[in-house]
């Protein structure tokens, strides 16, 4: 494996650091936010803003992934014993200095796109953008990082769910309807489930590193139940939206993804805490993408019909 990694090109090394499998989770809330905007107004008034918002979200996610890569290496959390996908700093594919340079370059590009979004959406968009970038550092950097203190789940739910969806809706419509909050909760729950897979896989190494999260403290079974509960929240949310008459029946398109979610749950429970669980991690990210597309389309169809 080490020999294979040594032959990777510079571009391939940066691609590993960017963690492309995680990027659907960044774009998902924007997709759902567009659906809410179409539900509210019947058409997309600011398509360029929607596109740039998605690009900025992906750039911030890449920056956060790079911060996580280099910070965990510098803290000694990532070692040769880690079970997850390759981390470029720990594997020696890129130096810590190179990765930090990549962090600030990526965030710099996100800020450039954010200038247009700020012009369109005003100071609330500035606040959201700065909070997202700050959170990318707070999540991993320092002795009191959120991931070390077991607060990663709450962070992901808030920023990849509520903030992502509601921020997009506000940018595109200037409003924050109740359906935006409900939709954000659904996306946030499924995205948090990705983190749970990661936490269950890394129970042993996280314990050694002194991290505290639900699977580390209460064991794998607790992590499995947390995963199931988060998926339940994700699929109950559209029913709540329908019951509150915030959308039409087309929102039930989300349930087209339920068989995949059930299959994923079975794979997760059966998979050993080993590199084999990395495939489950990628499938959990795919579920978030499929769910968000179905939810966004269902909301949009309600607006049109």
DSSP string, 183-221: HHHHHHHHHHHHHHHHHHHTHHHHHHHT---HHHHH-HH
Domain of residue 269 covers 2-304
Helices 47-75 & 10-18 angle (0-180, nearest 10): 100
What confidence tens digit (pLDDT) does each residue in 41-95 have? Answer: 878 888 899 999 999 999 999 998 899 888 878 776 655 565 667 788 888 888 8
**If pLDDT is split at 50, 70 and 90, which confidence band does 1 have?**
very low
Quick one: the chain helix, strand, coil %, rounded to 5? Answer: 80, 0, 20
Overall number of domains in the chain: 1
Q: Is 202 exposed, middle or buried (0-12, 13-18, 19+ CB in 10 A)?
A: buried
213-232 pLDDT tens trace: 888 888 999 999 999 999 99
**Residue environment code for 40-71, b if the CB has 16+ CB neighbours within 10 A, otherwise e:** beeeeebeebbebbbbbbbbbbbbbbbbbbbb
Single pTM value for the model: 0.88
Looking at per-residue confidence, does 200 or 148 come out higher? 200
Distance of CA 243 to the CA centre of its chain: 27
* 141 pLDDT above the threshold of 90: no
Which CATH number belongs to the domain containing residue 103 in this structure?
1.10.600
Q: How much is the pLDDT for 132?
A: 87
Overall average pLDDT of the 96-118 stretch:
93
Whether 21 contacts 282, CB under 8 Å: yes
């Amino acid at each position: 494996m080490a020999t294979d990694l040594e032959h990777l090109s510079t571009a391939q090394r940066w691609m590993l650091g960017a963690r492309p499998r995680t990027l659907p989770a960044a774009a998902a809330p924007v997709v759902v936010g567009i659906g809410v905007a179409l539900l509210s107004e019947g058409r997309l008034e600011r398509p360029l803003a929607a596109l740039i918002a998605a690009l900025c979200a992906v750039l911030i996610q890449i920056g956060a992934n790079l911060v996580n890569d280099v910070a965990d290496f510098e803290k000694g959390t990532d070692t040769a014993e880690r079970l997850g996908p390759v981390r470029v700093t720990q594997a020696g594919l890129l130096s810590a200095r190179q990765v930090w340079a990549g962090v600030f370059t990526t965030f710099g590009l996100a800020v450039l796109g954010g200038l247009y979004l700020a012009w369109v959406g005003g100071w609330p968009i500035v606040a959201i953008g700065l909070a997202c970038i700050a959170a990318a550092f707070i999540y991993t950097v320092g002795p009191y990082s959120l991931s070390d203190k077991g607060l990663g789940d709450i962070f992901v739910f808030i920023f990849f769910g509520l903030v992502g969806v509601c921020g997009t809706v506000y940018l595109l419509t200037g409003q924050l309807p109740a359906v935006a909050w409900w939709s954000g909760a659904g996306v946030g729950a499924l995205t948090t489930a990705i983190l749970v897979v990661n936490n269950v896989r890394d129970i042993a190494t996280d314990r050694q590193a002194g991290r505290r999260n639900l699977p580390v403290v209460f064991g794998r079974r607790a992590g499995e139940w947390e995963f199931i509960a988060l998926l339940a929240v994700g699929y109950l949310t559209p029913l709540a939206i329908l019951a509150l008459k915030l959308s039409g029946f087309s929102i039930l398109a989300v349930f087209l993804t339920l068989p995949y979610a059930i299959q994923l749950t079975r794979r997760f429970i059966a998979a050993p805490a080993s590199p084999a669980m990395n495939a489950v991690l990628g499938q959990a990210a795919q579920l978030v993408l499929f769910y968000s597309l179905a939810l966004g389309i269902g909301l949009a169809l309600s607006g049109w019909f």
